[in-house]
Amino acid sequence: MDNTNIEELTKKAEAFIELLYAELDKSEEETENRLISVREQINNLGSYLHTEEELVHGARMAWRHNSRCIGRLFWDKLEVIDARQAENEDQIAEALLQHVERANNGGRIRPVLTVFRSAEDESQRIRVWNHQLIRYAGYPSIDGSARSGDPASDHFTRVCQQLGWQGTGGNYDVLPLVVGIGDGEPRLFPIPTDLIQEVHLSHPEIERFPELQLRWYSVPIISDMQLEIGGILYTAAPFNGWYMETEIGSRNLGDTGRYNLLPEVADLMGLDRSTNTTLWKDRALLELNRAVLHSFKQAGVSIVDHHTAADQFVRFQQQEEERGREVSSRWSWLIPPMSPSATPIWHDQSLMELDLSPQFLYQSPAYQGWLEALDGPLKSADSELISPSCDSDSKETTTVSLPEMACPFHHKM
């Protein structure tokens, strides 16, 4: 590492240690001793090792700083699992499966983050190739046949198939885990069925709703972002919160680029789709979200509605103000995708995105170059792989198209 990079890392490390130790009410002596130790490690090794306390609180701070998350009221409840000792793909996969089980918690979803070793040595850099640990496969239309599954997973499904996995071709095939280390061949790990918790959707009033045969998995575990703490990058640090109902009803099931189910819901309800003036989309969207809320509650799986989530965000703002901390917020990502003007966030003109660290950062899909090597340049991206052209101040660390998400813990994808 050259002197410029050492100076930059030292600066970031010092800023983090000073901020963290102040929040934890450490003494000046403790702070100075730790700063001396960190500087020595960086000068001798070109990097430094976080203590478990620094890792845990740093990860929690990254959630607190995430400008696109509406659910930050509970940032200090994040459970952080230190898996930096995992050396090979088998150990990594075991830790990922343990994360799934711990997060599900029988339906009472826990916010959990599992962090693997940092990424200084590229030959040993760990990447989880999945966008989420649990996600459904996508099967594009072939020769005019009907497509199935989640369009957002089309490319990654192709990766899994190239690695030997085969699904049923249905709408709800859960993809396997794929883990890579450095430039080594990625390895595939099927997820045991007893760890996959799904909720089948019904409706509190529409008796025929189960005829649609809809379902969704219980917890969104984002696994392709990197965690930055004090200048150290953790390229594998999967994490989860719990769902907000519009993420499933409005986005995953309702978006035209995803399962596109509003027409089917409207037809089941007997709505007139011949003209937009009947507001059939709005009515179908509402009932689809009601079905999600109802079904998760009936199944005993944690979920929050978008009005409650917005109220919780306001409480988070108030708490942070009382503690003298600024809140980084991007309005366009915090407003829910249904009835946003009925929430207090819609009317808040004070929201501003700030450059805060620790933080979560985007990184290019681990499989991008690998898939192009097999099939040539990708002619189209997954619906989740979009250019940040409308995001001129975004903080992506590479110039390629990246997964765009509203929030790691309460995301829009």
Q: Is 258 a catalytic residue?
A: no
* Annotated catalytic residue, options 14, 60, 69, 228: 69
Q: What is the mean pLDDT of residues 193-211?
A: 98
Average pLDDT, the chain: 91
Q: Over 90: is that where the pLDDT of 375 sits?
A: no
Q: Could you read off the pLDDT of 344-371 as tens digits, one per residue?
A: 999 999 999 999 999 999 999 999 888 7
Each residue's pLDDT tens digit, 99-149: 999 999 999 999 999 999 998 899 999 999 999 999 999 999 988 889 999
Q: Is 247 assigned a catalytic role?
A: yes
Instruction: Respond yes or no: is residue 242 known to be catalytic.
Output: yes
User: Which residue did the predictor score with more confidence, 381 or 317?
Assistant: 317
Q: pTM for the whole thing?
A: 0.91
Which among 34, 72, 158, 330 is annotated as catalytic?
A: 72
Instruction: Give residue-wise pLDDT tens across range 150-165.
Output: 999 999 999 999 999 9
Active site residue 72: yes
Could you say which of 242, 280, 333, 370 is catalytic? 242
HEC readout, the chain: CCHHHHHHHHHHHHHHHHHHHHHCCCCHHHHHHHHHHHHHHHHHHCCCCCCHHHHHHHHHHHHHHCCCCCCHHHHHHCEEEECCCCCCHHHHHHHHHHHHHHHHHHHCCCCEEEECCCCCCHHHCEEECCCECCCECEECCCCCCCCEECHHHHHHHHHHHHCCCCCCCCCCCECCEEEEECCCCCEEECCCHHHCCEEECCCCCCCCHHHHCCEEECCCEECCCEEEECCEEECCCCEECCEEHHHHHHHHCCCCCCCCCHHHHHHHHCCCCCCHHHCHHHHHHHHHHHHHHHHHHHHCCCEECHHHHHHHHHHHHHHHHHCCCCCECCHHHHCCCCCHHHCHHHHCCCCECCCCCCEEECCCCCCHHHHHHHHCCCCCCCCCEECHHHCCCCCCCCCCCEECCCCCCCCCC
**Catalytic residue selected from 14, 228, 247, 287:** 247
